[in-house]
């Protein structure tokens, strides 16, 4: 698939071919959904936790004697039926939500999303994305001329460039990721995709070669 190449001023300067093995794959909505759900589950942080009767404070002695008081027998004030006692069947950190998806399925879903974006002309290829100083305004101007008026965008860098990352991270509706870390969930979170010619080579080398 042939697509235009832009410079950092947002002007078209040349054209390039997108690899057919990555950008011309037939969509399978069920597979993409399955992979996205697994990624969401795997990123889930388990923070809800209640204490059971072995973890709450107190219960060192029997509240009252076993017989003779007329009250129900009880052995500890840490019992779940007592106020301040342990919680029965509450959320625990031992829960496991992770879902395993085979590597080939994850890659196929990635290629399907990339193909769909290419088909809808939502991919912008830049000759390079570099900045000498971490300045947001010039970078925002480039993205505004390309796609920001029509939605969000994910910038794919060939390698970790701290100045470029700092220039991009404060721009609303724009994310940044390295080519080797490209994944279906992040692609689905943004409407447009911005890659460099070098990033395309990294994507091809990482996911195909």
| Residue-level pLDDT at 80 | 93
pLDDT at 10 over 80: no
Please give the residue that has the higher pLDDT: either 10 or 15: 15
Residue 146 pLDDT grade (very low, low, confident, very high; cuts 50, 70, 90): confident
pLDDT at 37: 96
pLDDT, residue 51, reads 94
pLDDT band at 194 (very low <50, low <70, confident <90, very high): very high
Helix (H) or strand (E) holding 140: helix 136-146
| Model confidence pLDDT, tens digit, residues 121-133 | 999 999 888 887 8
pLDDT band at 209 (very low <50, low <70, confident <90, very high): low
Q: Indicate whether 1 pLDDT > 90.
A: no
Q: Is the pLDDT of residue 28 over 90?
A: yes
Q: How far is CA 190 from CA 95, 137, 172, 200, in A?
A: 30, 21, 12, 18
Q: Are 157 and 129 in contact (CB under 8 A)?
A: yes
- Per-residue pLDDT of 32-79, as tens digits, reads 999 999 999 999 999 999 999 999 998 888 999 999 999 999 999 999
State the average pLDDT for the chain: 91
Domain boundaries, the chain: 2-25+98-207, 45-96
- 2-25+98-207 belongs to CATH 3.40.50.300: no
pLDDT in tens, 165-189: 999 988 999 999 999 999 999 999 9
């Amino acid at each position: 698939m042939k697509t235009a190449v832009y410079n950092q001023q947002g002007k078209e300067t040349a054209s390039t071919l997108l690899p057919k093995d990555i950008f011309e794959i037939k969509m399978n909505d069920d597979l993409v959904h399955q992979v996205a759900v697994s990624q969401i589950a795997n990123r889930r942080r388990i923070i809800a936790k209640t204490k059971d009767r072995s973890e709450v404070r107190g219960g060192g002695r029997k509240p009252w004697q076993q017989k003779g008081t007329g009250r129900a027998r009880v052995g500890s004030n840490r019992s779940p039926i007592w106020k301040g006692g342990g919680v029965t069947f509450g959320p625990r950190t031992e829960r496991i939500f992770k879902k395993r998806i085979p590597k080939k399925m994850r890659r196929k879903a990635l290629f399907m999303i990339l193909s769909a974006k290419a088909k809808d002309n939502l991919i912008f290829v830049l000759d390079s994305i570099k900045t000498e100083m971490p300045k947001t305004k010039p970078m925002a101007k480039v993205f505004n001329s390309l796609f920001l008026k029509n939605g969000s965008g994910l910038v794919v860098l060939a390698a970790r460039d701290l100045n470029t990352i700092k220039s991009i991270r404060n721009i609303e509706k724009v994310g940044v990721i390295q080519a080797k870390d490209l994944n279906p969930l992040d692609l689905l979170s943004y409407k447009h995709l911005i890659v460099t010619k070098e990033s395309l080579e990294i994507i091809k080398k990482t996911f195909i070669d």
